[in-house]
Copies of this chain bind each other. A is one copy, B any other.
């Protein structure tokens, strides 16, 4: 036994006991005649004491030579601490060391192992095993485990079965790019890693599993944006004999359970909003409803007042920013610059202050009277002291831009309180979305999503208007889950593939097994998948997922700690029937 106790559990009640601890040297204070060492493990920190009166000289010398992150084992007696530290759970006691073993020394770490570290992102990833020793990262991983256990316990109690679906599957052209795995035994052929277990969970429904879930790794070979990982974890769920209502209720139950167990928060019934309403009110299909600033359309009321810029636009839409009438000209200019940045791409921003004294002042006073502007205030719901911001342009673009501004302002104004949890179901998503590049419709969710029966007739005439039985669960402005009721008959599925531009042969080659399965008694079914990394981060009150992933990859998809990916040797390539062929860039 390396230890009788861990470094987090000794209390005043242990005083007088002989104990053994093992852990890392967190800190050393050497006053010559006395040396204090903070010993750390996963469970906490305990203070050790060596003093020249009670400690043999040789051991004093050894203790003096300890460095940060050395691993030691000590035996000693728990004694009362002279100056107690109420900040530390073990702060009432210290250990008078009687035996001492150096288990492993340590080089000086490349960054400090403290809550706030001096290590940059890349350095911390390279030495991730040291970064994990830091409390915030360690706590994030413990938290992730706890959330995972709660998910499993809840779903299992609800009759869901965790079924492991395969990782070596088949590449499909639909959706994002697959990671592929060359087969040695099947020459010239490749497996693909799953982007999600979508078809397998549907087959489990055909197989009568009734309620399936899995916490499972998924893979997408996409160009990585910040906070995207090539491998990510999903809580994947599917139910048979259900309608949308059943799914929403079941997973509202799961989310409520998590919030209660993990955060001690009781949630009301989750509000629901159609996709169309979400776009109109928030310019966004995952609105953060922790705060207001709902969109107000001003299109009719601002036109024909001589302000040309507005007269030409499809949509004019504004928000009331609470308490921001006091913004200086400089502050407002900063907002204007912000929306004009290429990432947002707006042409400008019209503002109107509704001052505390009831007067109004705007950037377009030349065209609009005080009465006009008070009308804007009424429409946007602005109160005295608020700032009205107005954007204009094409409907979709303008909504997206104003949504970005709304979120930016909410952050600036401290309205995105991580301790408030505001869930929302967004429902009635469009079935299809137009892709400018390929000039055809794509499935907005995926090609297995069922259209609303009453909208099927629109497929031929106005495909963009067909709504799907698809839904997202949004939490604090993040999509944490999304799903749909699936197609469960071969004819509808074949029709969908046809609309999505698959030839019959392609559909058969890629998804023949699923359509075959539909001919052998497929039950109605539907499901949902939660992004587990994101869910955990949001529950943890964080914006980024990286600290919740033990060994994340960087933005180039590299693991900088193990230095992967890497070259293979020729023999390995030959066995896989492969040759690397890098095209040289064409010289101009």
Binding site for B on A (CB under 8 A): 1-3, 6, 22, 24, 40-43, 69-71, 73, 103-107, 109, 127-133, 138, 141-142, 144-145, 148-149, 152-153, 156, 161-171, 173, 177, 179-193, 199-200, 203-204, 206-211, 217, 219, 221, 223-224, 230-231, 233, 241-243, 245-246, 488-489, 512-513, 517-524, 549-551, 553, 556-559, 561-569, 572, 574-583
Contacts and interface: CB of A to CB of B under 8 A. Distances in A.
Given A190-B568, A207-B130, A523-B22, A180 B181 contact: yes
A193 B168 CA distance: 10
Contacts of A161: 141-142, 145
Given A179-B168, A521-B70, A1 B204 contact: no
Contacts of A518: 104
A485 B159 CA distance: 39
Nearest to A142: B161
Given A129-B520, A207-B133, A551 B200 contact: yes
A188 B520 contact: no
Contacts of A179: 168, 181, 191
Contacts of A242: 2
B207 A169 contact: no
A208 B550 contact: no
Contacts of A169: 559, 562, 564
14 contacts: A41-B210, A42-B211, A141-B161, A141-B163, A142-B161, A145-B163, A164-B217, A164-B233, A167-B217, A182-B182, A186-B557, A190-B566, A191-B565, A512-B563
A1 B243 contact: yes
A109 B579 CA distance: 44
Given A564-B191, A576-B180, A521 B204 contact: no
A556 to B, nearest CB: 6
Contacts of A574: 583
A425 to B, nearest CB: 18
